[in-house]
Amino acid sequence: MTIQQALPLQNIKVVELSHMVMGPATGVILADLGAEVIKVEPLKGDNTRRLKGSGAGYFPMYNRNKRSLCLDLKSEGGLQVVKDLIAQADVVIENFRPGALQSMGLDYATLSQSHPGLIYCSLKGFLSGPYEHRTALDEVAQMMGGLAYMTGLPDRPMRAGSSVIDITGAMFGVIGILAALEERHHTGKGKEITSALYETTAFMVGQHMAQCAVTGEAPPPMSIRRSAWGVYDIFETADDDKVFVAVVSDTQWRLFCEAFDLQEFASDVSLAANSGRFEQRDRIIPAISAVFSQLSKADLMAKLDTTGLPYAPINRPQDLFDDPQLNADGLLHVTLPDGAQVKLPALPIEMGGNKFGLRYNPPVEASETRSTLHAAGFSDADIDQLVADGVLRDEP
């Protein structure tokens, strides 16, 4: 992987007060882009580190390229450390419950009085409005926002197979931060930014809201939808595997018929346009399925690849570890806090032909305490006293 040498956010300092997915995902995007991100954790470490089941991947995935600092925010000494760090920072990220940081003086209104250039990003369940007091989770937002309905069967809403709202909400948070940084170049002043799960879900489902407005019909779940294209399906192969195949233009249809020797369809003018293929799906799909059922998965994909048609194997997450495309440049070799080695996806961006890589592994709890605080102007004596007072966890 060719790594960016001069990183675009390398002079930006971030204090991250967050856990789970949405806040840390915001932080890791900024960190991958070069920002110095200090992750402030409780004395015992972020509880996300200890999650099991589907949460076991949260910490490893969303906390690389950060520094860990473990302290007691409820103590006067620990709170002052955080305030001193924020005084030198460009950005604060937080995903505490509404109002939780205000009592500590860590809200934007308080901090901006002495630090008018501060950019403060809150990751919440809801933006301002009747619901803003509520607690939300990714799955709550997916249910409320119509995404679970559109993902599942008509009588069985189903969440998407990833924390898509947490992650997308984090991306909107980063967009807001970058916009505020650009505005600060002109005004010298920072800004408070809020990104929220529910409104993020509504934005993602907006295409279906627009569909409803345009057609006058309620959109059915994607699991039973009528595709806009004549061929846009999952097909069985001879070796009992599956491949998704799409034909989304009239030029692709001609190439498709030629590649698979579908002469009857190629010569039929009623199928030349997508509208005709859409109306005759009951005729063409069984015939295509019969052709594909005689080919192995590898042979079918090889032919589709040669013709330039859209296709995809039906992969599982574990299949991606061996994916040639990702292994060429898109996976980072990460060492986890327990010493385990794993390959995880890099930030999916190239700039100037370069990608963004790994500078620091996901941190062991408090592992950079002294170097982080030294850089902020704390002496060893200051650090020793904070450790002795029980408000700061020293390096392991």
List, in order of start, the domains of the chain with CATH numbers: 13-205+366-388 (3.40.50.10540), 224-316 (3.30.1540.10)
Tokens representing 287?
Answer: 């015939």
Given the DSSP bridges, would you call strands 91-94 and 13-17 parallel, antiparallel or unpaired?
A: parallel
| 227 vs 159, more confident | 159
Give Cα 363 distance to the centre of its chain: 20
Supply φ then ψ for residue 234, to 5 degrees.
-95, 130
Residues 41 and 78: their CA atoms lie apart, in Å, by 11
Tokens representing 264?
Answer: 């009857």
Looking only at Cα atoms, what is the longest distance across the chain?
85
For 149: left if phi > 0, alpha if psi spans -120 to 50, otherwise beta; the answer is: alpha
Per-residue model confidence (pLDDT) at position 300: 97
Rounded average pLDDT over 63-75: 97
Rounded average pLDDT over 70-82: 96
Residues 391 and 131: their CA atoms lie apart, in Å, by 35
Residues 158 and 73: their CA atoms lie apart, in Å, by 38
Q: How many residues does the structure list for the chain? A: 396
| pTM for the predicted model, two decimal places | 0.94
Per-residue model confidence (pLDDT) at position 329: 86
Share of the chain above pLDDT 70, in %: 99
Query: How confident is the prediction for the chain on average, in pLDDT?
Result: 96
Return the number of other C-beta atoms located less than 10 Å from residue 322's C-beta: 11
Rounded average pLDDT over 80-103: 95
CA-closest candidate to residue 262, choices 227, 301, 290: 290
CB 370 within 8 Å of CB 345:
no
Tokens representing 215?
Answer: 């057609």
Tokens representing 59?
Answer: 């910490």
Per-residue model confidence (pLDDT) at position 1: 47
Residues 312 and 145: their CA atoms lie apart, in Å, by 29
- Residue 383: in which H helix or E strand, if any? helix 380-388
Per-residue model confidence (pLDDT) at position 3: 55
Is residue 12 helix, strand or coil?
Answer: coil
Q: What is the pLDDT of residues 147-178, one digit of tens each?
A: 999 999 999 999 999 999 999 999 999 999 99
**DSSP letters for 62-83:** H-TTEEEEEB-TTSHHHHHHHH
Rounded average pLDDT over 309-332: 95
Residue 138 among the catalytic residues = no
The catalytic residue among 166, 233, 239, 250 is 166
Per-residue model confidence (pLDDT) at position 98: 87
